[in-house]
Chains A and B, each alone.
Chain A
């Protein structure tokens, strides 16, 4: 049994039954799952949670799922102490939450696992999404596991590796010939036309809750405490707000001390509507038209932008963007210091971390967690020019000629 009790409007507080519904009828603001925390607190302890499965489903009682979960083995990903990267950046207590190590290689599995579980519970036989790749793969994989149909809409400029990453699970893949805005417009209409479980539309409140588990895990893995600082990428802003909600809930349930974590938003400069608003001192996010190679977080009109801003402000955190070059440098630095190959969104996090540490916003001694949310191998084209092998003949003389000097100087 779950402790979820209603959907609640984040703006005006109006409540709705737990249905496939994502927006308040009155003020058109997003809805959020609310829980009976008193009852939840009675049923939970650190020991019990720690004895659960080594996946995100160890936190099942804190998620809005009633029936059997659709689980492909997501979560409880490593939290690694990143001493080498920390030394480069001037941070003594840096950790990396490595969410590249989820079944479809991004944190999206957390959100989608909950959303598809709910879709099945609601009686949908079909799920759908519009995605630049990570969400597409995750939805297709979960639909395969749940034996549901999946319709996946992608823009025409999606990287080939991301297409393969979704197609392998055999969804109905629809590539839209048009601009980013066209895809958005089309998919809004598609969602209205067909009665599907649309992962980030009518299932969005449930989808959102899955991301909380990243916050829960970080706290548990640190020995039941919240970090001093978190740096996380934001596209729609949902993950960012839910990491915070996860930490906040643990404190509310008495599982950790009151949270004093500074939350920092990382975006790519070519698509940074939330960072722009933060810097302008505004609480309203003006949409932009994305132009960046960091496609997985290139969202121009972020659904939860306003709420991500609130978290950054209320937590005494901030928001920062880096350009494409800095993002790629970040991907390389992370790989070359910690052996973790992230996609460009991870490079953005590392680039932002570098800036925040260099400017003293994040201090050397603060326990800082960088959320690395997606793996690199599906978007190799952005790194094509790093492959410069020494070409040799199959003779020892040729090897000596080519790399002999290098070997001797090592």
Chain B
């Protein structure tokens, strides 16, 4: 089991979809929301994912394919 902290950014058309719920269900990932702000036209959620490494990888690939942007919560590791 491993943990990964990520930020999801949702475009307007995905805000009403139960993406985090599906992510948990389909990929056997435990999702734990720490911070979030969702309005009618945009939303972001900071959460921790816990599960098998390969499930987390596949889950993130699926979320990304739906049109959600996934970023590390620590910000970019690369710096100037």
Q: Which of A82-90, A292-300, A397-405 contacts B (4 or more CB under 8 A)?
A: A292-300
From known contacts A27-B34, A28-B34, infer whether A303 and B80 are also in contact, taking CB-CB under 8 Å: no
Determine the distance from Cα of A188 to Cα of B35 in the docked complex, in whole angstroms: 21
8 Å CB contact of B75 from A133, A295, A298, A302: A302
Residue of B nearest to A198 (CB): B77
**In the complex, chain B residues 38-80 whose Cβ is within 8 Å of any chain A Cβ:** 42, 44, 46, 48, 69, 71-80
**Interface check B31, CB cutoff 8 A:** no
**In the complex, chain A residues 132-157 whose Cβ is within 8 Å of any chain B Cβ:** 132-135, 153, 155
Please state if A28 and B46 are interface contacts (CB–CB under 8 Å): yes
**Interface check B13, CB cutoff 8 A:** no
Determine the distance from Cα of A269 to Cα of B24 in the docked complex, in whole angstroms: 37
Determine the distance from Cα of A374 to Cα of B79 in the docked complex, in whole angstroms: 14
From known contacts A23-B73, A286-B9, A301-B71, infer whether A184 and B35 are also in contact, taking CB-CB under 8 Å: no
8 Å CB contact of A130 from B5, B9, B78: B78
Please state if A236 and B71 are interface contacts (CB–CB under 8 Å): no
Nearest-CB distance from A148 to chain B (Å)?
19
**Interface check B17, CB cutoff 8 A:** no
B residues less than 8 Å from A303 (CB atoms): 74-76
Nearest-CB distance from B60 to chain A (Å)?
10
Determine the distance from Cα of A295 to Cα of B79 in the docked complex, in whole angstroms: 9
B residues less than 8 Å from A155 (CB atoms): 78
**Interface check A37, CB cutoff 8 A:** no
Determine the distance from Cα of A256 to Cα of B79 in the docked complex, in whole angstroms: 32
Which of B34, B37, B44, B78 has the most chain A CB within a 10 Å cutoff?
B78
A residues less than 8 Å from B7 (CB atoms): 287
Q: Which 7 pairs across A and B sit closest by C-beta, in order of nearness?
A: A303-B75, A296-B80, A187-B77, A130-B78, A235-B80, A301-B76, A301-B71
